[in-house]
Structure 1
Amino acid sequence: MNPFRHSRELAAPPSAVFDALRNPERLARWWGPDGFTNTFEHFDFQPGGRWTFTMHGPDGRHYPNEATFTQIEQDRSVRICHTCAPLFDLYIGLEAIPAGTRVTWVQQFDDPQVAQAVRHIVEPANEQNLSRLARELAAP
């Protein structure tokens, strides 16, 4: 199965977008689909660093997550390996463009059957994530 690919042009320079990724307070505000909030237990933003957090759904359910930052290139990209089910790799690329930054979001699940089963959730959720990032960048 091909990875899920999403792209968005944001009216902010790559350094500002990167800051919204590396700053745990900012990241907690926008990470996840609409209606979700986050509690970060551990956030070690460096290659090989762990990230453990709980996403709190609008339905009151709690979703524990574990990940590792596998690659970080300042103002250019972040790669995250989600190390608990469902297993996936997420690449977030930042490209400077005249209007700001083109963010490329590529999510590859380890198991193609899992990817197909969650497609109806992942595709809109990834778009919502990018919309929430845009709102975070536009906030004063």
Structure 2
Amino acid sequence: MSATGRGVPTRSTTADREIVIDRIIKAPRDLVFEAFTDVRHLSRWWGPDGFTTTTRAFDFRVGGEWDFVMHGLDGTDYQEWISWTEISPPERIALVHGEFRGDPSAFESVLTFEPAGAATRIEMRTVFPTKELRDQAVEQYHAVEGGRQTLSHLDAYVTEIVRKAAEG
């Protein structure tokens, strides 16, 4: 929901096509942002429980692409492709995510990184082309739980970096 100028709540025109996941990450914003933008970090935490990631190509810039394969616990490989449409360090990243360049089912995501004291609040807002594709992602691919697990892995990964740095 958003507010109009009169304080009257209005329903987002994309609400039935969205998934929004957020989490407080126990690490500074610059580090959390870096963990999303450097392939050496991404390969260490990206994906839901039990998944691993193999990167084929990575070019982090507006118009750049990340071509990768996620490997499921059951041995299934999932071809993935991301292209960044906006990068505003360390506050925001916008991207298109599909199975391949030109995928008609690709969805758009905006990630925001907000300071929360010594921690960072990250929000992933994903908008699918249709309600049906959103529902399929939730029901068939468990997108909400997978997103939560992915952010949990990020939290654990960057928290460990902070812990090691504090130990010196």
| TM-score where L is the length of structure 1 | 0.94
Question: Percent identity at matched positions?
Answer: 31
Q: Aligned ranges for residues 1-140 of structure 1 at < 5 Å?
A: 1-84=16-99, 85=103, 86-120=105-139, 121-139=142-160, 140=164
Q: Distance in 2 between matches of 1:135 and 1:18?
A: 14
Q: Deviations over 1:70-121 (max 9, x none)?
A: 1111111111101435411111110012131100111111121011122131
**Which runs of 4 or more aligned residues in structure 1 lie more than 4 Å from their structure 2 counterparts after TM superposition?**
none
Letter of the 2:116 counterpart: I
SS in 2 for 1:116: helix
Letter of the 1:132 counterpart: H
Larger radius of gyration: 2
Q: Which residue of 1 aligns with 2:10?
A: none
C-alpha contact 1:66 1:82 (8 A) present in aligned 2: yes
Coordinate RMSD, CA, aligned: 1.3
Structure 2: gaps (5+ residues): 1-15
| TM-score where L is the length of structure 2 | 0.79
Q: Which moved more, 1:7-16 or 1:75-84?
A: 75-84
The structure where strand makes up a greater share of residues is 1
